[in-house]
Amino acid sequence: MEHPINILERYWKFTSFRHNQEAIIEAVLNGEDTFALLPTGGGKSICFQVPALVKKGICIVISPLIALMKDQVQGLQNKGIKAMAITSGISYQELDALLDNCIYGNYKFLYLSPERLQQDIVQARIKLMPVNLIAVDEAHCVSQWGNDFRPAYKNITILRQLHPTVNCLALTASARPEAIKDIVKELDFLNPKIFRQSFFRPNLAYLVLHEEDKYYRLETILKKYTSSSIIYVRNRKSTVSLVQFLQSKNITATNYHGGLSNADKETHMAHWLQDKRQVMVATNAFGMGIDKPNVKTVIHLNLPESIESYFQEAGRAGRNGEKAFAVILKNNSDKPLVEKQFIDVLPSVSFIKTVYRKLCSYFQISYGEGEYITHDFDFNTFCNIYKFNMSLCYNVLLVLDRNSIISLTKQFKNKVSLQFIVSNNALFNYLKTHLDLNIIVKCILRLYGGVFDTETKINTLQIANKAAINEAVLMKALLKLEKDDIITLQTGKTDAQITFIEPREDEKTINRISKGIVLQNKLKQGQVKAMLNYIENDTLCKSIQLLTYFGEKDIEPCQVCSVCTNINKPKKNTDIKVLKNKIIELLQNGDINSRTICSTLKCSDLEVNHVLKILLEHQIIQVTPSNTYKLSHL
């Protein structure tokens, strides 16, 4: 066997492994069942990619994230390594051909969603493959105690039955002790080698700052630290408004969310990765597989839903080893908002049953049918027809997706159908004088045989990939064909696709997962509570709080977080009574915000906020609707 370091040098151009990588790879090559708990940015993918390249055969990688699968496959293909991902929306014939390629085409990596393992054809073909390793990415999804539990991950044991002599590597960046035990049990590990790397990041300062005016503090941070930054916000609309605000302050910014087209995502990402934009403003749809070393600040303008998700997002800062900051900006409105966003919208089992039935009716799926059929989905229209609360309904779709009843792809795309309205001869005469359209037309004809006879719905991304062009070029070509009366063309937009993974069984379908739904709702409530405890605890080092949550012990204070720096800060003998009187005196002249109070009295945010809190508690002052302060008796 070739030495792993040679593989690393040849394909990744690195001359040494990171901490623990080599030991994990050695355990895998020795045929051990292995569990690797590495922090975000710790190089998890190399731990299975290198040993899979060392050994003969194909590595099967299980991952729940389509975007991450595609990124990793593209990365391997760019290195000249044969890899493919089988995701939703693939026809039976195409699936059949792809699986054959894996058996006979000398492929090294096959990426699958856990739901795909339910299909008989997939199981039958995997049995014929020369599998050299089973890699389980995002392994916390295996455990009911893990963040983002997905019952379909229990299907992975099928792989172990199909290839009982092949060892398994499980990888995750976030798992608590009870989840680790559960994962080892569920994956049927035998005497596993467990590698845990401390999550402590000495260069990363975790800061929780109480700010009445979050935008002002955001501006000051980004102007002080002008290197690359990520700002996480609650929704798509906020990404747009915040980019506009930052640009008005001469801070270059772009945005990223699940509703952008592929072309826009790629453009925005490229601008940020190439440092043409300082700031990426994003929802939590952003970040998986992104390894940008020079991110100086990761700022959460709104509270995350859990410590697990926060830790992963915050961990994208400072991967180059230089000092970096993970900042949460909070104020008194955050607690009710986070409870409204994540707790109040947890759907009951009965509501999930209602939405599932309506979803089947919406797509006209008969009882016992619908398995692995993909539909374009307009979420807003669906909610309007059935008068559903959008937040609650969206969470139902996420529950159905997580429990492998459906697969929900949140992606803006073109919805296109067309029909050729000229004869075969007329079409080929036309192509003689329009050579640039030749390959596009031939790709359409090969993929859609009945396109001369009936109006046919087409997959623009599939055609564009087959013709080796981007979707924008394809759409321009279709418009040209329509203008020249070669085709009729119907276009629209959709922001999602739904694939039904199970046949319709109404009550029975949801009854099978009802206990898990109740457990997950309880777990989600606990996660939100832990997040609120983290932001409210200003007496214990933030690193200690985070690492204790993940089961680490005997941790020393980090000396760089918002708690440690406040404790270590030389104490000024500010007279609280004097400061209180000065603030009251200022407010006698009219409403004022905390920022102006700080600058006028030349006091720190901490001091002023402490006194404002006292004045609010004693009802001497009150907060106005515009987040300024005024005297209560005026």
Tell the residue number behind the tokens 């599932």, with chain if given: 356
- Tell me the C-alpha distance between 624 and 592, whole Å: 10
* pLDDT of res. 147: 67
Determine contact, residues 339/373, Cβ cutoff 8 Å. no
Concatenating the DSSP letter of every residue in 562-573 gives: HHHHHHHSPPP-
Residue 110 is predicted with a pLDDT of: 96
Tell me the pLDDT tens digit for each residue of 15-72. Answer: 999 888 999 999 999 999 999 998 777 788 999 999 999 999 999 999 887 777 888 8
Instruction: Quote the CA–CA distance of 355 and 360 in Å, as a whole number.
Output: 9
Q: What is the predicted pLDDT for the residue at 575?
A: 79
**Lateral strand order in the sheet of 324-330:** 204-210, 324-330, 295-300, 228-232, 279-282, 253-256
The pLDDT value recorded for residue 330 is 93
Q: What pLDDT does 505 receive? A: 92
Beta strands 496-500 and 373-377, pairing class? antiparallel
CA dist 325 and 204 (Å) reads: 6
The Cα 116–Cα 224 span in angstroms is 48
Asked if residue 37 lies in contact with residue 196, where contact means CB atoms within 8 angstroms, the answer is yes
407, 366 Cβ separation under 8 angstroms: no
Stretches in the chain below the pLDDT threshold 70: 88-89, 147, 288-289, 410-414, 492-495, 569-574, 634
**Residue 373 confidence (pLDDT):** 84
**Which ranges in 169-235 belong to alpha helices (H)?**
177-186, 214-224
Contacts of 37 (CB under 8 A, 6+ apart): 172, 173, 175, 180, 194, 195, 196, 197
Distances (CA, A) of 631 to 351, 505, 565, 592, 601: 47, 62, 33, 10, 18
Number of neighbouring beta carbons within 10 Å of residue 116: 24
- Rg of the Cα atoms in the chain: 27
* pTM for this prediction: 0.71
Q: How far apart are CA 365 and CA 370, in angstroms?
A: 6
| DSSP H/E element including 489 | strand 487-494
pLDDT number for residue 207: 97
> What letter does residue 292 receive in the DSSP assignment?
-
